[in-house]
Amino acid sequence: MLNIEEEADEHAEDEAPLTKGNQLPEALSETVGGDEHGAAAPGTLNFNNFQDNNNNKAFGGRVGFLPLPQLEIGLGFEIANVGAEDTHFAEIQSSLQVIDLSYVRDSNLLKGQLDIRSQFVSLKIDQADEEPLNYENESSSGYGQIAYRPIKINNNFLKKFEFVFRYDFLDLPEQAILDTDLKRTTYGINYWLAPNSAIKFAFQDKTISEHKEESETLFITQFTLGF
Protein backbone atom coordinates (compact mmCIF):
# COMPACT_ATOMS: atom_id res chain seq x y z
CA MET A 1 0.00 0.00 0.00
CA LEU A 2 1.30 3.45 -0.93
CA ASN A 3 0.10 5.78 1.80
CA ILE A 4 -1.53 9.13 0.97
CA GLU A 5 -2.61 11.68 3.56
CA GLU A 6 -6.37 12.21 3.53
CA GLU A 7 -5.86 15.98 3.91
CA ALA A 8 -3.90 16.06 0.66
CA ASP A 9 -6.39 14.05 -1.36
CA GLU A 10 -8.94 16.34 -3.03
CA HIS A 11 -10.79 13.50 -4.76
CA ALA A 12 -13.87 11.61 -3.75
CA GLU A 13 -13.93 10.06 -0.33
CA ASP A 14 -14.37 6.59 -1.77
CA GLU A 15 -11.01 6.71 -3.61
CA ALA A 16 -8.81 4.24 -1.81
CA PRO A 17 -5.09 4.75 -1.23
CA LEU A 18 -2.57 3.03 -3.45
CA THR A 19 -2.13 -0.59 -2.49
CA LYS A 20 -0.26 -3.67 -3.55
CA GLY A 21 1.72 -6.08 -1.43
CA ASN A 22 5.51 -5.86 -1.61
CA GLN A 23 8.38 -6.57 0.71
CA LEU A 24 11.43 -4.61 1.82
CA PRO A 25 14.32 -5.39 4.12
CA GLU A 26 14.02 -5.35 7.85
CA ALA A 27 15.64 -1.94 8.17
CA LEU A 28 12.83 -0.26 6.26
CA SER A 29 10.03 -1.91 8.22
CA GLU A 30 11.65 -0.83 11.47
CA THR A 31 12.21 2.80 10.51
CA VAL A 32 9.21 3.72 8.41
CA GLY A 33 6.67 3.76 11.17
CA GLY A 34 4.79 7.02 10.66
CA ASP A 35 3.99 9.41 13.46
CA GLU A 36 3.14 8.91 17.11
CA HIS A 37 -0.51 8.30 16.20
CA GLY A 38 0.38 5.39 13.94
CA ALA A 39 -0.35 7.25 10.68
CA ALA A 40 2.02 6.21 7.93
CA ALA A 41 3.90 8.89 6.01
CA PRO A 42 2.68 9.69 2.46
CA GLY A 43 4.72 8.02 -0.27
CA THR A 44 5.67 4.96 1.75
CA LEU A 45 4.44 1.45 1.03
CA ASN A 46 2.28 -0.39 3.54
CA PHE A 47 2.90 -4.15 3.57
CA ASN A 48 0.03 -5.10 5.87
CA ASN A 49 -2.81 -4.70 3.39
CA PHE A 50 -4.91 -7.79 2.71
CA GLN A 51 -7.23 -6.37 0.04
CA ASP A 52 -6.53 -6.03 -3.67
CA ASN A 53 -7.58 -2.63 -5.00
CA ASN A 54 -7.16 -3.29 -8.74
CA ASN A 55 -7.08 -6.06 -11.33
CA ASN A 56 -3.33 -5.80 -11.81
CA LYS A 57 -1.22 -8.64 -10.44
CA ALA A 58 2.26 -8.22 -9.04
CA PHE A 59 4.87 -9.98 -11.14
CA GLY A 60 8.36 -10.91 -10.01
CA GLY A 61 10.92 -13.58 -9.49
CA ARG A 62 14.47 -14.44 -8.52
CA VAL A 63 17.27 -16.25 -10.31
CA GLY A 64 20.21 -17.70 -8.41
CA PHE A 65 23.66 -18.44 -9.87
CA LEU A 66 26.20 -20.85 -8.37
CA PRO A 67 29.61 -19.96 -9.88
CA LEU A 68 31.19 -21.91 -7.01
CA PRO A 69 29.66 -24.65 -4.84
CA GLN A 70 29.85 -22.35 -1.80
CA LEU A 71 28.79 -19.13 -3.55
CA GLU A 72 25.32 -18.07 -4.65
CA ILE A 73 24.50 -14.78 -6.37
CA GLY A 74 20.85 -13.87 -6.74
CA LEU A 75 19.00 -11.35 -8.90
CA GLY A 76 15.37 -10.56 -8.22
CA PHE A 77 12.64 -8.11 -9.19
CA GLU A 78 8.98 -7.32 -8.66
CA ILE A 79 6.72 -4.86 -10.44
CA ALA A 80 3.13 -3.98 -9.64
CA ASN A 81 0.54 -1.26 -10.12
CA VAL A 82 -0.15 0.12 -6.66
CA GLY A 83 -2.93 2.54 -7.54
CA ALA A 84 -6.61 1.98 -6.95
CA GLU A 85 -8.75 1.59 -10.04
CA ASP A 86 -10.80 4.58 -11.24
CA THR A 87 -8.60 7.10 -9.40
CA HIS A 88 -5.96 9.59 -10.48
CA PHE A 89 -3.31 7.22 -9.10
CA ALA A 90 -4.41 4.13 -11.03
CA GLU A 91 -1.32 4.03 -13.26
CA ILE A 92 1.29 4.48 -10.54
CA GLN A 93 3.65 1.51 -10.48
CA SER A 94 6.27 0.27 -8.06
CA SER A 95 9.44 -1.44 -9.24
CA LEU A 96 11.71 -3.43 -6.95
CA GLN A 97 15.18 -4.77 -7.85
CA VAL A 98 17.30 -6.95 -5.58
CA ILE A 99 20.80 -8.39 -5.76
CA ASP A 100 22.02 -10.73 -3.04
CA LEU A 101 25.08 -12.83 -2.27
CA SER A 102 25.70 -15.79 -0.02
CA TYR A 103 29.03 -17.54 0.61
CA VAL A 104 29.31 -20.35 3.15
CA ARG A 105 32.44 -22.45 3.51
CA ASP A 106 33.99 -24.81 6.02
CA SER A 107 37.69 -23.95 6.26
CA ASN A 108 40.40 -26.20 7.67
CA LEU A 109 42.75 -23.22 7.67
CA LEU A 110 40.39 -21.16 9.83
CA LYS A 111 39.24 -24.25 11.74
CA GLY A 112 35.66 -23.23 11.36
CA GLN A 113 32.81 -22.10 9.16
CA LEU A 114 32.79 -18.76 7.33
CA ASP A 115 29.40 -17.29 6.40
CA ILE A 116 29.22 -14.13 4.27
CA ARG A 117 25.90 -12.62 3.18
CA SER A 118 24.83 -9.34 1.59
CA GLN A 119 21.85 -7.78 -0.16
CA PHE A 120 21.05 -4.53 -1.95
CA VAL A 121 17.49 -3.41 -2.70
CA SER A 122 16.33 -0.56 -4.92
CA LEU A 123 12.69 0.57 -4.89
CA LYS A 124 11.17 3.06 -7.31
CA ILE A 125 7.59 4.34 -7.23
CA ASP A 126 6.26 6.40 -10.14
CA GLN A 127 6.02 10.12 -9.54
CA ALA A 128 2.49 11.44 -9.25
CA ASP A 129 1.31 14.79 -10.62
CA GLU A 130 -0.25 15.89 -7.35
CA GLU A 131 0.98 16.66 -3.86
CA PRO A 132 2.15 15.13 -1.63
CA LEU A 133 3.53 12.52 -4.08
CA ASN A 134 4.95 14.77 -6.82
CA TYR A 135 8.61 13.99 -6.18
CA GLU A 136 11.17 11.40 -7.28
CA ASN A 137 10.27 8.52 -4.99
CA GLU A 138 13.31 6.23 -5.00
CA SER A 139 14.64 4.36 -1.98
CA SER A 140 17.52 1.99 -1.40
CA SER A 141 18.55 -0.34 1.37
CA GLY A 142 21.10 -3.05 1.98
CA TYR A 143 23.30 -4.96 4.35
CA GLY A 144 26.54 -6.89 4.55
CA GLN A 145 27.29 -9.55 7.15
CA ILE A 146 30.18 -11.83 7.96
CA ALA A 147 30.08 -14.57 10.58
CA TYR A 148 32.64 -17.07 11.82
CA ARG A 149 32.01 -20.20 13.89
CA PRO A 150 35.00 -22.30 15.08
CA ILE A 151 33.30 -25.66 14.58
CA LYS A 152 36.55 -27.54 13.81
CA ILE A 153 38.41 -26.87 17.05
CA ASN A 154 38.69 -29.59 19.71
CA ASN A 155 36.69 -27.83 22.39
CA ASN A 156 32.99 -28.57 22.70
CA PHE A 157 32.31 -25.33 24.56
CA LEU A 158 34.16 -22.88 22.29
CA LYS A 159 32.97 -24.46 19.03
CA LYS A 160 29.41 -23.42 19.86
CA PHE A 161 30.29 -19.71 19.67
CA GLU A 162 29.67 -17.62 16.56
CA PHE A 163 31.13 -14.16 15.96
CA VAL A 164 29.16 -11.80 13.72
CA PHE A 165 29.72 -8.39 12.14
CA ARG A 166 26.91 -6.65 10.24
CA TYR A 167 26.43 -3.28 8.54
CA ASP A 168 23.12 -2.11 7.10
CA PHE A 169 21.68 1.11 5.75
CA LEU A 170 18.46 2.72 4.55
CA ASP A 171 18.18 5.75 2.25
CA LEU A 172 14.75 7.31 1.65
CA PRO A 173 13.94 10.09 -0.86
CA GLU A 174 15.18 13.55 0.14
CA GLN A 175 11.94 15.27 -0.93
CA ALA A 176 9.65 12.87 0.89
CA ILE A 177 7.83 13.91 4.04
CA LEU A 178 9.56 11.01 5.73
CA ASP A 179 13.17 11.66 4.71
CA THR A 180 15.13 9.18 6.81
CA ASP A 181 18.63 7.86 6.44
CA LEU A 182 19.65 4.99 8.69
CA LYS A 183 23.05 3.41 9.25
CA ARG A 184 23.73 0.58 11.69
CA THR A 185 26.86 -1.28 12.67
CA THR A 186 26.46 -4.38 14.81
CA TYR A 187 28.98 -6.63 16.55
CA GLY A 188 27.53 -9.87 17.88
CA ILE A 189 28.36 -13.08 19.67
CA ASN A 190 26.00 -16.04 19.43
CA TYR A 191 26.13 -19.19 21.53
CA TRP A 192 24.39 -22.15 19.89
CA LEU A 193 22.61 -24.36 22.41
CA ALA A 194 21.34 -26.64 19.64
CA PRO A 195 21.13 -26.52 15.83
CA ASN A 196 17.83 -24.63 16.12
CA SER A 197 18.36 -22.48 19.24
CA ALA A 198 20.86 -19.85 20.34
CA ILE A 199 21.51 -17.06 22.82
CA LYS A 200 22.62 -13.87 21.09
CA PHE A 201 24.47 -10.85 22.46
CA ALA A 202 25.11 -7.74 20.34
CA PHE A 203 26.52 -4.23 20.52
CA GLN A 204 24.93 -1.89 17.98
CA ASP A 205 25.80 1.65 16.91
CA LYS A 206 22.90 3.33 15.07
CA THR A 207 22.71 6.69 13.31
CA ILE A 208 19.42 8.15 12.08
CA SER A 209 19.28 11.31 9.97
CA GLU A 210 15.83 12.92 9.81
CA HIS A 211 15.92 16.73 9.95
CA LYS A 212 18.91 16.26 12.25
CA GLU A 213 21.36 13.45 12.92
CA GLU A 214 20.89 11.35 16.03
CA SER A 215 23.03 8.49 17.26
CA GLU A 216 22.42 5.81 19.82
CA THR A 217 24.18 2.75 21.14
CA LEU A 218 22.30 -0.43 22.00
CA PHE A 219 23.15 -3.61 23.86
CA ILE A 220 20.90 -6.42 22.69
CA THR A 221 20.23 -9.87 24.14
CA GLN A 222 18.07 -12.43 22.34
CA PHE A 223 17.02 -16.03 22.61
CA THR A 224 16.08 -17.62 19.29
CA LEU A 225 14.31 -20.90 18.66
CA GLY A 226 13.55 -22.36 15.26
CA PHE A 227 11.08 -25.06 14.26
Q: pLDDT tens digits, residue range 9-52?
A: 433 333 333 334 443 333 343 444 444 333 456 566 666 766 77
Q: Domain for residue 208, yes or no?
A: yes
Q: Domain for residue 25, yes or no?
A: yes
3-state secondary structure 143-205: EEEEEEECCCCCCCCHHHEEEEEEEEEEECCCCCCCCCEEEEEEEEEEEEEECCEEEEEEEEE
Range of the domain at 15: 6-225
What is the pTM (predicted TM-score) of this model?
0.75
Domains contained in the chain, number: 1
Q: Domain for residue 1, yes or no?
A: no
Q: Domain for residue 173, yes or no?
A: yes
CA pseudo-torsion sign 35, 38, 40, 46: positive
Q: Domain for residue 167, yes or no?
A: yes
Q: Domain for residue 156, yes or no?
A: yes
Q: Domain for residue 101, yes or no?
A: yes
Query: Each residue of 66-110: pLDDT tens digit?
Result: 999 999 999 999 998 877 677 777 778 889 999 999 999 999 999
Cα–Cα distance measured from residue 95 to residue 126, given in angstroms and rounded to the nearest whole number: 9
